[in-house]
């Protein structure tokens, strides 16, 4: 029987497609907060209609949001979401396809990941500017006399 050689490379530091990693508490909280806001506004309107007094938790529970926030991967389609959380409202068992709500969830996750990447870029730029852009005093020949 031939032996298969497997080499493992270190995953990148950021959240990347298909690369699982532990997220910082700040990133997890960022995802959690954005999903909760989306759930309580957009998803409630899409599912129940404009006039409802029902909570967004009845549609998308905090347990599902927590699983999605801590999974460590960029989830790009509903089949990837299903690997981490079971959400009956987002998936139709008869057709074996995601429902409108499931597609909306994946779309929202994509938006959140883009915001996270932009926030990280902005932080890198701010850190670079803090470390490199200093106020310098121009010296002239008179300063040396």
- Residue 8 domain-assigned? no
pLDDT at 10: 44
* pLDDT value of position 115: 94
pLDDT exceeds 50 at position 113: yes
Query: Is pLDDT at 80 greater than 80 in this prediction?
Result: yes
Mean predicted confidence (pLDDT) in 58-83: 92
Tell me the Ramachandran region of residue 72: left when phi exceeds 0, alpha when psi lies from -120 to 50, beta otherwise. left
Is residue 1 in some structural domain? Answer: no
Q: Would residue 14 count as lying in a domain?
A: no
pLDDT in tens, 19-56: 566 788 999 999 999 999 999 989 988 888 877 777 88
Q: List the alpha helices (DSSP H) in the chain.
A: 25-38, 44-48, 62-70, 78-84, 100-132
Q: Give residue 52's domain range.
A: 25-128
Residue 20's pLDDT is: 61
The yes-or-no verdict on residue 2 having pLDDT over 70 is no
Residue-level pLDDT at 13: 45
Is position 2 within any domain?
A: no
Look at residue 63 and tell me if it is in a domain.
yes
Number of compact structural domains in the chain: 1
pLDDT at 19: 56
User: Any idea which residue has 């500017």 for tokens?
Assistant: 129
Residue 142: inside a domain: no
pTM of the model: 0.71
What integer pLDDT is reported at residue 1 of this predicted model?
59
Inside any domain, residue 13: no
């Amino acid at each position: 029987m031939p032996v298969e050689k497997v080499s493992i490379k270190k995953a990148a530091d950021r959240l990347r497609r298909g690369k699982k990693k532990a997220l910082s508490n700040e990133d997890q909280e960022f995802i959690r907060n954005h999903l909760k806001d989306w759930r309580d506004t957009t998803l409630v309107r899409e599912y129940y209609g404009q006039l409802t007094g029902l909570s967004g938790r009845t549609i998308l529970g905090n347990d599902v949001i927590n699983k999605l926030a801590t999974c460590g991967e960029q989830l790009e389609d509903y089949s990837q979401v299903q690997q981490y959380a079971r959400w009956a409202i987002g998936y139709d068992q008869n057709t074996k396809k995601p429902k409108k709500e499931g597609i909306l969830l994946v779309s929202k996750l994509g938006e959140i990941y883009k915001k996270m990447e932009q926030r990280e870029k902005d932080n890198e730029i701010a850190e670079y500017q803090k470390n490199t852009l200093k106020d310098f005093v121009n010296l002239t020949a008179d300063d040396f006399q």
